Each structure stands twice: as C-alpha cells, then as structure tokens.
C-alpha cells in the first residue's frame, strides 16, 4: 500500500480523476495533511464518507518512528526506525532566522567518502518520498514548531535517489504542502555529473551545494571515490553549465581535514579553480568520529585558509559548528544503533 505522504499534488489529482472525482479533492487532502496536520481521515468533513473509505483503503498513513533524540544547545539529532526496521537520522539546527533540518535520502550510502561515517556503511536502499517528507512532519510534531528551511545532506547521495528526492521537494514546496520556500531548500551532491545536468533541466530554483573538498584530483581521489568516475574537470564543467542555465549561485562545500586539504597551497589552488564563478565556498570544520582516522583542521588554519580565498576574491564563509557533542556527524547515530 502506497503512503499518501509520497504523493505530489499532481499525482494525487490523477488518483482522484481515476476515481471519477474532481481533481480539487487533492487540494483538500493536502490541506488536511499539511496545513491542519490531520491524518484522521474520518474527520475530513469536506470529503464525502464513501470517498474517505476509498482513501483509507488505498493509502497508508504510517510514518517512521523517532526512537532516539540527542540534544545540544542549538542542535537536536533524531534517529528514526523505518517500517523495515532500518534506521536513518535527521538533524535540526536552531538559527536566529528559524529552524533548519538536514534530512537523509538513503539508508546508508555508496559514495564511500573517506571522511564520512555514512559512507562507512553501504547503501541498503533508497528512501521513498514519504520517508523524506515524514522526517519533517514527525520532527515538527516533536518540537511543536515549524521548520523553515531544508538541507538534503544527511545519510545518502540525493542525486542517487533522483525521482524520490524530486517528489519530496515538490511536496514540501507546495503552497498547500509544507509551504517551504524553494530558495530555502538546498540539495547537496558529491558530484554525480549526469544528474546535475538532469537537475538543471527541472526548472526548480533550489540551492545546489557541491561537496568538492579538494582543489585537485590527487587529493580528491584519496578522499572521494566519486572523483574516480567524475573528476574535477568534469564536475567544474557541470557547475559552470548549471550556473549558466539556472542563473543560480552554487555553494562549494569544503570540509577542512588536517594536513590533507587545508594548506595555503590548497587555498590558492582552490581560488584559481573557482575564479570568476558565481559561487561561494562554505568551509566546514570536520566533525570527528571514532571510526575514522582523520582530524579537523585547527581554527587558526581554517581562518588563514579563508583569508587566502577572500584575498583572491572568492566569497567564503566558515560554517558554525553544530552538534559536535551529540554524534551529529552524518551517520554516527545510525552506526551506533546498527552496532548495538
């Protein structure tokens, strides 16, 4: 039985048309689910009883269960148990402009990045669209607050689960869905070049973040297996084309790894690589994990790296550290659960 939370409004309209009903019924259902947060079909007073029974027969309303929560001052991390007893996690961060959530898109990940706890455990399966949507719904219910921005940067490679992630974006962006502004939605990819080209044709104005993490193929090959398939030259061509087609700025994610990619030479090389592009660089202090023998760059090194980029005319920010006390590195909480 399909979950109703995985249906875009257009897909739900097609369902009602197939039942001989008017397609505006889809709008009414969206309002009950996402505006009123009411999944009790029997109380949907503007839908006739016979149709409510059909809906109950045709759709599941089940959601993943939160089985663990860890808290830090500005961060909370949630471990979800899915219907098949697999586990994923989501992180929320409290900002002065609202609450953001980082959602998972897969159970495990096949990208195998050397610094990432998620990649230490292989991909089990893609998440269905409803399993992405309900991460937000369940956490909003837990907090009793609205989430205002979304980053698809948790466990998994979003572009490796392309169709489900696109459905998720359309549902949460829908004015009668979760009504999260399209420019408040960020998709992060490790660099699946063909899918970047697919995404640029979708005509959706989301934010694209690319996990570059190295200024050359030698370093990137060491820490990111994807580079052996789509190297930096191919990736940079895709980024340039994406900017040209969408007229949107691209974020370059760069995790700072001690004595690997954090030298001033690396900074100069990165500045040359990115010169003249409509991008900004987000330097990320590495969130260390006991299973991976890598260390984060010290604060002085990160500031010096940023200063070199600024001097060369590159827009750069240093990401504020969130959740280092609560297993917030991507995949840590799931790994603990699996290892139990």
Q: Could you tell me the CATH number of the domain that includes residue 314? A: 3.20.20.70
- Residue 109 falls in the annotated catalytic set: no
Radius of gyration of the chain (CA): 21
**Mean pLDDT of the 214-238 span:** 98
CATH code for the domain in which residue 38 is found: 1.10.150.530
Out of 33, 60, 87, a domain closes at 60
Task: Return the C-alpha torsion angle 161, 85, 131, 116, nearest 10.
Answer: -50
The reply to whether 121 and 224 lie within a common domain is: yes
Q: Is the pLDDT confidence value at 73 over 80?
A: yes
**Mean pLDDT of the 293-305 span:** 95
The reply to whether 154 and 202 lie within a common domain is: yes
Q: Which of 13, 70, 89, 131 is catalytic?
A: 89
The reply to whether 130 and 7 lie within a common domain is: no
The reply to whether 99 and 126 lie within a common domain is: yes
pLDDT of residue 325: 55
Cα distances (Å, whole numbers) of residue 5 to 129, 172, 305, 309: 7, 10, 44, 43
- pTM (two decimals): 0.92
Mean per-residue pLDDT of the chain: 93
The reply to whether 242 and 265 lie within a common domain is: yes
Out of 41, 60, 79, a domain closes at 60
Spell 11-30 as b/e; 16+ CB within 10 A means b.
ebbebbeeeebeeebbbbbb
pLDDT of residue 268: 98
Say how far apart CA 88 and CA 79 lie, in whole Å.
6
Domain containing 213 equals 65-339
The reply to whether 155 and 283 lie within a common domain is: yes
Structural domain count of the chain: 2
Lowest mean pLDDT among 178-182, 270-274, 329-333: 329-333
Out of 44, 60, 76, a domain closes at 60
């Amino acid at each position: 039985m399909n979950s109703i939370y995985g249906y875009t409004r257009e897909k739900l309209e097609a369902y009602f048309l197939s039942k001989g009903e008017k397609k505006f019924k889809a709008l009414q259902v969206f309002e009950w689910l996402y505006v009123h947060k009411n999944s009790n079909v029997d109380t949907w007073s503007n839908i006739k009883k016979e149709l409510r029974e059909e809906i109950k027969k045709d759709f599941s309303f089940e959601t993943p269960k939160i089985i663990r929560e860890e808290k830090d001052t500005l961060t909370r991390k949630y471990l979800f148990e899915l219907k098949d007893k697999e586990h994923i996690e989501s992180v929320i961060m409290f900002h002065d402009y609202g609450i953001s959530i980082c959602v998972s898109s897969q159970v495990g990940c096949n990208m195998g990045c050397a610094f990432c706890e998620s990649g230490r455990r292989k991909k089990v399966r893609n998440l269905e669209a409803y399993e992405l949507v309900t991460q937000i719904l369940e956490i909003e219910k837990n907090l009793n607050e609205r989430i205002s921005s979304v980053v698809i940067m948790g466990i998994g490679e979003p572009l490796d689960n392309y169709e489900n992630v696109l459905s998720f974006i359309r549902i949460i962006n829908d004015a009668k869905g979760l009504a999260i502004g399209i420019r408040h939605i960020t998709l992060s990819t490790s660099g699946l070049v063909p899918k970047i080209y697919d995404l640029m044709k979708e005509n959706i104005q989301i934010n694209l973040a690319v996990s570059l993490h190295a200024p050359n193929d030698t370093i990137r090959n060491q820490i990111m297996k994807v580079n052996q398939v789509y190297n930096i030259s191919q990736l940079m061509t895709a980024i340039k084309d994406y900017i040209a087609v969408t007229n949107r700025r691209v974020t370059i994610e760069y995790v700072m790894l001690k004595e690997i990619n954090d030298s001033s030479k690396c900074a100069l090389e990165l500045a040359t690589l990115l010169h003249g592009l409509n991008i900004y660089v987000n330097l990320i202090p590495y969130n260390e994990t006991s299973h991976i023998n890598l260390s984060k760059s010290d604060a002085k090194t990160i500031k010096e790296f940023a200063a070199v980029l600024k001097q060369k005319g590159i827009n750069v920010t240093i990401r504020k550290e969130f959740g280092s006390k609560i297993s917030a590195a991507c995949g840590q909480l799931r790994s603990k659960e699996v290892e139990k």
